[in-house]
Amino acid sequence: MRSDKLVFLAICACACGSPTDQGDAGNNPDGGSSTDASPQGDAAQGNDSGKNDGSTGNDSGTTSTKVVFVIPMENKAQTQIYGNVNDAPYINNTLMAAYAHTTMFGDELPSLNSEPHYVWMEAGTNKFTDHTFSTDNDSASSNSTNSTAHLSTQLDAAKVTWTSYQEGMTQGTCPISSVSKTFYAAKHNPFVFFQDVAGATPSSSNQYCISHHKPFSQLTADLKNNAVAAYNFVTPNLCNDMHGDGSCPQSDTDSANIKAGDDWLKANLQPMIDYALAHDGYVFITWDEGDSTNLIPFIAIGKHSIAKKAGTVKYTHSSLNKSIAEVFGVTPLSTVASASDFADLFDPGTFP
């Protein structure tokens, strides 16, 4: 099926560093933040799989020419982000001034932890005939599903390439397990919980899974070499996604964690934005869950995103899944068919 957009799902801000990350300890185990990533996504020289040239990729024969980046952030409500110019100046003064955001993005699973929310982003549900996701446990045969009704499988069938960039994962592995020293959290990587990706018994050596996962540090080179996939899920580590951890450099307070996430976005987001705008694509920055209000922040970036718009349409993570499917010309899953897409955040008639 032909699709002609590239989408970056922005859930967590992506930091791009050295492409040789081996999961070293530290706040930025993938080689550090990069502020000199080239926005010239069409000056490619490399031969990496997932290359967005309409001829190569994780699946051969792709015809995708659009790109989407999704960056998931963590555990903050709208009231903690919108208007908080002290802790989140980049989000408020730069992103929200230039692009649209939502005011009615609801948490579909307010009583559950992070992992079910990430699974929902991929499948439009956390409940399957063989398993219901309700914990933050790592991927395992007892904590995964054999369901093939999820977005990345749809994209495979449509010959649309996809890659999960994970900050802190060990290069050359299927990152089914969290890595405490690098602050990589498997619970923030939805793909490893699907057995058609990670194996019937999820395995770190599963080659299909490995082919679709890269350390976040490799993104800078992939952007420069026009080697990113069509759909890119970019997850910061726990220190950089506003979640926090007692071992992170910043204090484990809401204010410090928000500031760390905002700084990470400022340091790493612009190359993704530049690439997306050059390829008629999108960057979506989302949060997984909020607080008692059940309203979470969301920012939609694209060439026709309406600057400063505070959208009032009701959305959930089902809207994210549906919108990405529409961008790539894939029929939305039945679990998300009734959700609103993000058309209201863009100039009329321009989305997807």
Four-residue CA torsion sign, 184, 185, 190, 195 = positive
**DSSP labels, 262-292:** HHHHHHHHHHHHHHHHHTT-EEEEEES--ST
pLDDT digits (tens, 9 = 90+) for 28-50: 444 333 333 332 333 233 333 34
19 or 241: which leads in pLDDT: 241
- pLDDT the model gives residue 29: 42
Domain 7-345 indexed as CATH 3.40.720: yes
Q: How confident is the model at residue 270 (pLDDT cuts 50, 70, 90)?
A: very high
Best CA proximity match to 62, nearest among 159, 158, 156 = 159
pLDDT of 59 over the 80 cut: no
Averaged confidence pLDDT in the chain = 86
Q: Where along the chain do its domains lie?
A: 7-345
pLDDT digits (tens, 9 = 90+) for 96-146: 999 999 999 999 999 999 999 999 999 999 999 999 999 999 999 999 999
What's the rounded Cα separation, in Å, for the pair 116 and 94? 31
What's the rounded Cα separation, in Å, for the pair 321 and 19? 29
**DSSP labels, 132-192:** B--S-PPPBTTB-B----SHHHHHHHTT--EEEEETTPPTTS---S-BTTTTB-GGG-GGG
- pLDDT the model gives residue 338: 98
Four-residue CA torsion sign, 135, 133, 229, 201 = positive
What's the rounded Cα separation, in Å, for the pair 234 and 121? 13
Tokens 């397990």 correspond to: 177
Tokens 């185990």 correspond to: 29
133 in Cβ contact with 140 (< 8 Å):
no
